[in-house]
Amino acid sequence: MDAYLLVKWLHVLSSTLLFGTGLGTAFHMLWAWRWGDAAHLASVSRSVVVADWLFTLTAGIAQPVTGLALVHLLGLSPWSGWLVVSYVLYGIALGCWLPVIWLQIRIRDLAKDAMRDAQPLPALAERYMRIWFILGWPAFIALLAVFWLMIAKPEL
């Protein structure tokens, strides 16, 4: 396999992991929240945080590294319009993901404390979940748009 095909494969694989892990963890976190059970939310949020560190972070680092390598290997200008828009959208997704990680950790800890104390989930956990949910949408839409830009490569 030549360098281009290897880097392209890594780029496609990491984009799949990034998007798939994001959808999967969001679904599980939201589903656990709907149960309203502190023990269930503590368990699910613990695994969601681990999955985000293992898969989302790794894929999130691989994306720009392999993307810029592809730009170089293909001889593209890194300042092509569609690439610049992709960088901005990726930055939006990252800007949403960083506070989401913090929120997931806090929700995990609040749920663990509620479970330990045999108390219902605190109002702060609900507030954090709402912010978490809201931040997920621009990240999701931004990554969908990046997928489209990577496929269409429109002249912008």
CA 124/CA 105 separation, integer angstroms: 13
How many domains, in total, are found in the chain? 1
Can you spell out the DSSP letters for 79-135?
T-HHHHHHHHHHHHHHHHHHHHHHHHHHHHHHHHHHHHTT-PPPHHHHHHHHHHHHH
Task: Give the structural domain span for 111.
Answer: 3-152
Quote the pTM value.
0.91
Q: What pLDDT score was predicted for residue 36?
A: 87
Kindly report, residue by residue over 75-90, the tens digit of the pLDDT: 999 999 999 999 999 9
Kindly report, residue by residue over 7-38, the tens digit of the pLDDT: 999 999 999 999 999 999 999 999 999 998 99
- Give φ, ψ of 126 to 5 degrees: -65, -40
Tokens of 17: 């992991």
